[in-house]
Structure 1
Amino acid sequence: MGERTCSVDRISELPDFILHHVLSFLSTKEAARTGLISKRWQYVWETFPILDCNEWFFGRELDILNPKELGLPKDERRKIFDRRQKFLSYVDEKLQRFPEENLCVNKFLLHITLVSNNLASRVDAWMDLVSDLSVRELDLYLTVGKERFYVLPLKVLAMESLRILNLRGCLLSSSFNRNAIKLTSLIQLHLRDVSIDEETIQDLIFSIRSMEVFSLKNCLGFENLEICDHDKLKKIVYHPHKDLKVKKFSINLPTLEELDFCSVDKDKTACEIVVNSACQNLKRLSLCGIPIDTNWLQSMVSSFPLLEHLFLGGCVLQQVMKLSSSVLKETYLCNCRKLVEAEFDTPNVHLFEYRGKKMPRLNLNSITGDRVAGLSVRLNNMDNSWFLKLNSFLRDNKFHDLTLSMTGSVKKIPFSAKGFMGIQISPFKLNNMTLVTHALTLGNYAGLLDGLFCSVRPQILSLELNYYSPEFLKRLLKSLVVDKPKCCCSEEFQCWRHMLKDVKLINNVKGFQSTTSVLNAMTLKNLTEFLDEWAIEAHKTVQSFGTLIGDTLSFHLCW
């Protein structure tokens, strides 16, 4: 008789708190599936201290406010109603069981569409239960009708255990008594799509003395916003409502380290932004979607001795911009209207991202270690002149890594390898070049590689996988695999295909398997099949969750 083997499930023997910690790294759906493994895992899931009550788990159509108005047939409306009842019963059961069995709840998330006034009272009852569970993080994502809000019970603002509070679709009334706000442990307060007036904002700031992060996004009910008299606030995020014309945004916080102001106002109307000089600890400044005078910007940058990170996105600037700072270490300038030329005297910048019509001029003379550049370009602008400027830009500023974002749809990029013959240029050596594509179509992928590798010689080529990229990457990889180059080299011009000795896949993305790391015809076939499957799964993910976490294919290039 052969030896009998006995498998021991040592993972299931671990204490509850360790298994709960393991589940915290999984999505709610994945964590729920572990309850099917055994009774032990079913108990672990049922006592998991993170309650994620999202109506989408019972059907994405549950967020339809009025199915009848959409013309849905009666049987479809009945299905939606039944699924909503199952969801409501699920939340009831979860919230009633935890206090009955004396179980703790670290985090409670509720996402529900209030299709009737009765549901608001149901949520009130849930908040009564939650307020007694010593919850550390509360996330209320409430979808309501147009110009309607859920009136937040005062009990929520008296939960002394809360450290993080996220509110969406709520009404915070000025009728609240300031003394009734007892969020004594709260560190982060995030308000989105909330109706709140200036007085209530001031009451929250005054009462929550432990708060370090305060975020207001797309909120209504006030015309001016002033934040001051607080000794712990480190981060302020303010994204004005698209229909709210805020006149003045003022901050006076000596403890402030990060400010994020982002407007979605299509008219780009000016808002007076006052960051008092007392904010001497400001390290990160992000401004988006607003008109900016470059002199005002230079004054802002010069006023804060610790400002290391500057982000400007979608701002309206003058055609010519000059910026000087010896402190800045990271600079991002993306999609700024009217801007044609930009010059930066920022010698200590090590991470620089720029998306504009022309290559910017930089002064980065000091040695600050490895520098990372991010550039954006449309495919129809990638002619010989652009690739020459790319070479000079990277060489003059000693960049080691490059992320290149490509957009557009062309049959052929304007680059011509023959145009490089006779030009005294040597490809610049990079540690890593990452290609990000939002391109729809491109006719000559080989021409794109010709232009890139005539300008740069990366040791590592990384290709980002995103929703738009699979077809683009398949064709690009096919152009990279050439067994016997048919082109010719001369003393004036050395084709990259003759210089490239080997290409190896250095990190497999999740789900891809190959018998060899060498990029050859067989590996290319496997990669093509993988990218086709990845595209299908990506489409499902976007449909289910609305977002997609990208991955990266990386290759080592031996020159």
Structure 2
Amino acid sequence: MNPDCKETVSGQLNTVDRFSDLPDFLVHHIISFLDTKEAYRTCILSKRWAHISATNPIIEFHYYVLKFPYRYWPSKEVSARLLGYMDSRMQRYANDNLRIRTLKLRFPASNKVFGCDVEDIELSRKLEELSCKVDEWIRIAVHNQVARLDLDGPIDYQLPAILLSAKSLREVYCINVKIPFYNGAINLASLQTLELIYVDVEERMLNHIISSCLLLKCLSVKYCFGFKTIVIPCSSQVKELTLKYSLPENGTIILESSYLTCFQFSDIYDDRWPVMSKPGLLRNLRTLDLSSSGITDGDLGKLLPELASLETLHLGNCRRLTMIRISSVQLKKIYLDECHGLVDVTIDAPSLTKFKYKGHFDPRCTITISSQATCVLSVHIKPCCLHTRGFFKLKQLMTGLRSCNALEISLSNNYNESGRDDIKFDEEELGDVNLGPPRDITELKLSLYDQNLSRSSMSAFLNGLFWTCYPDIISFQFYLEDPGLMMQFFMSELEDMVNCWKHPLKRIEFPDANCSNIHESGKVEVQWRLHW
């Protein structure tokens, strides 16, 4: 028998409530894993639990009404109750000097409040009053040693200067706020994570914050404006830097620190490479994620030799790149995503474990990888490009990969002048050209979007694919008005190929699929396992 349970005279067990004996800080830690609504439901358990909920160091306040997919400002009555509740709660924390570990404030990004236009005097007054309340809540949180601030600010809200003296702050996440320039010292001695999204920040202020926060490890600036140059000084210990769509035309990123291990940069509007760094400073970089239409073959050729510790490389929408030559003993993962100008990719990386190429099928492109990495080719192909030479080029693209595990093909909606698809394959057209037997791959993924193929095109499509590769599994995704008919065509063609002399198919394991009970959305996902 449990030593904490004692049997009474009536035969019932009298249990000891050990959970209620836990100290407040430990119970606070337990309910911190619940969301706000669930945490406050615990107040009905007992008077002590009501006290625990009222003194929870995690404060979350949402000042809007959710009506999917939008957020609306509440009515006057609801607004008064919400603000009154939040005011009284924050005053309780101030009066009792209760620790605030996390403060989350959410306001809707709306141009209207209570049905008033932005230009209305009443709206301006209400927004000013609301900003004053938020300032007061942040002041109380700073005084009570807040460690994390998560703020989605009201319209035209400016961060108060007192926030820059919050010595206990470790994490700051700001959305839709303004950070003007403040004359004064910045004392964010504990700040380690700073994330700004849709923030209007002056250049002097942003660089002043970066240079003053000596413990800052993670810096993320997304869709921000107000600055042209961002500097990571040599004194900075920033390890993870993310800049997405925040740099204006002719803007500049100056990297002077050698602590960077992860760098993500996205900007598809500038036609030049804006990053400046001295030789040797990026030697510790392990992850590089670039989505820039400005980077050229020369820029990438100068950058890659500097990255002696690079393990993961992702290049997306780098449309000016035509040739990639990589030689590295450290590189483990490479992702090439929608780099439409590429025609030559040569990779010599013995430690490479994963490679993925995704983009439109370009017959000019060649890929050569010397390692036994897990390779995935994901290509978008127009049906009019799927002819004998098109399948030949697809197979030629796969020959440069020593190990191709998956081939993903998406057929886009493209009709010829007669309004019909036109997929043809005749092996005799290749003449004496021979690329060897089809490649053995693990999975072939096919996707059809609004493209109803005829029976002859489906037969030519499968014939050309099986001439190119022998998959163990075929995954088919239909996004069609009549997916049932297309799936019947596909299953029938596979059955015919079992007895076909051209392909060594032994048998096919079909899924349990009933074409008459397909969901009205038109989306069907099925798999077939093939035995060669």
TM normalised by structure 1 equals 0.71
1:207 corresponds in structure 2 to 212
CA contact (8 A) 2:360 2:381 kept: no
Task: Compute the displacement of 1:112 (Å).
Answer: 0.7
Of residues 44, 61, 66, the one that matches 1:53 is 61
CA contact (8 A) 2:221 2:246 kept: no
1:225 corresponds in structure 2 to 230
Task: Compute the displacement of 1:188 (Å).
Answer: 1.1
Of residues 189, 196, 199, the one that matches 2:194 is 189
CA gap 1:356/1:488 in 2 versus in 1, 3 angstroms: closer
Separation in 2 of the partners of 1:475 and 1:12? 61
Separation in 2 of the partners of 1:442 and 1:262? 33
Separation in 1 of the partners of 2:213 and 2:70? 35
Q: Which amino acid aligns with 1:520?
A: D
Q: Which amino acid aligns with 1:138?
A: L
2:296 corresponds in structure 1 to 293
CA gap 1:444/1:26 in 2 versus in 1, 3 angstroms: farther
2:343 corresponds in structure 1 to 341
Task: Compute the displacement of 1:257 (Å).
Answer: 1.4
CA gap 1:472/1:460 in 2 versus in 1, 3 angstroms: farther
Task: Compute the displacement of 1:300 (Å).
Answer: 0.7
CA contact (8 A) 2:164 2:187 kept: yes
Cα deviation digits, residues 446-476 of structure 1 (max 9, x gap): 8366655554444456679xxx969798777
Task: Compute the displacement of 1:281 (Å).
Answer: 1.0
Separation in 1 of the partners of 2:165 and 2:513? 65
Of residues 402, 415, 437, the one that matches 1:398 is 402
After superposition, residues 453-472 of structure 1 pair within 5 angstroms as 455-459=468-472
SS at match of 1:237: strand
Task: Compute the displacement of 1:433 (Å).
Answer: 5.0
CA gap 1:57/1:384 in 2 versus in 1, 3 angstroms: farther
CA gap 1:410/1:32 in 2 versus in 1, 3 angstroms: farther
CA gap 1:453/1:274 in 2 versus in 1, 3 angstroms: same
CA contact (8 A) 2:452 2:486 kept: no
TM normalised by structure 2 equals 0.74
Of residues 129, 133, 137, the one that matches 1:118 is 129
Of residues 430, 438, 451, the one that matches 1:442 is 451
Separation in 2 of the partners of 1:33 and 1:482? 58
CA contact (8 A) 1:321 1:343 kept: yes
CA contact (8 A) 2:216 2:236 kept: no
1:490 corresponds in structure 2 to 500
CA gap 1:484/1:154 in 2 versus in 1, 3 angstroms: closer
Task: Compute the displacement of 1:317 (Å).
Answer: 0.7
Q: CA RMSD in A?
A: 4.6
SS at match of 1:372: strand
Task: Compute the displacement of 1:307 (Å).
Answer: 2.2
CA gap 1:216/1:558 in 2 versus in 1, 3 angstroms: same
SS at match of 1:291: coil
2:178 corresponds in structure 1 to 171
SS at match of 2:255: strand
CA contact (8 A) 1:58 1:83 kept: no
Task: Compute the displacement of 1:487 (Å).
Answer: 5.3
SS at match of 2:190: coil
SS at match of 1:162: coil
After superposition, residues 15-164 of structure 1 pair within 5 angstroms as 31=38, 49-56=57-64, 58-59=66-67, 63=71, 80-89=75-84, 91-92=86-87, 95-96=90-91, 105-113=100-108, 115=113, 116-144=127-155, 149-164=156-171
Separation in 2 of the partners of 1:475 and 1:298? 50
Q: Which amino acid aligns with 1:366?
A: S
Separation in 2 of the partners of 1:90 and 1:472? 55
SS at match of 1:310: strand
5+ residue gaps, structure 1:
66-78, 504-518, 536-551
CA gap 1:554/1:93 in 2 versus in 1, 3 angstroms: farther
Q: Which amino acid aligns with 1:164?
A: E
Separation in 2 of the partners of 1:246 and 1:174? 23
Task: Compute the displacement of 1:232 (Å).
Answer: 1.8
Separation in 1 of the partners of 2:69 and 2:371? 57
CA gap 1:193/1:417 in 2 versus in 1, 3 angstroms: same
SS at match of 1:233: coil
Q: Which amino acid aligns with 2:168?
A: S
Of residues 338, 350, 358, the one that matches 2:362 is 358
Separation in 2 of the partners of 1:456 and 1:111? 53
Task: Compute the displacement of 1:280 (Å).
Answer: 1.4
1:520 corresponds in structure 2 to 512
Separation in 2 of the partners of 1:553 and 1:47? 50
1:545 corresponds in structure 2 to none
Task: Compute the displacement of 1:230 (Å).
Answer: 2.4
Q: Compare 297-306 and 214-223 and name the one that shifted more.
A: 214-223
Cα deviation digits, residues 71-123 of structure 1 (max 9, x gap): xxxxxxxx644444454345445545556677654433222147522211121
CA gap 1:521/1:463 in 2 versus in 1, 3 angstroms: closer
Q: Which amino acid aligns with 2:413?
A: S
Separation in 2 of the partners of 1:472 and 1:309? 42
CA gap 1:521/1:310 in 2 versus in 1, 3 angstroms: closer
Q: Which amino acid aligns with 2:167?
A: E
1:499 corresponds in structure 2 to 507
| Structure whose CA Rg is larger | 2
Separation in 1 of the partners of 2:504 and 2:21? 62
Task: Compute the displacement of 1:274 (Å).
Answer: 0.9
Q: Which amino acid aligns with 1:129?
A: I
Separation in 2 of the partners of 1:101 and 1:407? 65
Equivalent residue pairs, number: 484
1:510 corresponds in structure 2 to none
Separation in 2 of the partners of 1:407 and 1:417? 16
Q: Which amino acid aligns with 2:318?
A: C
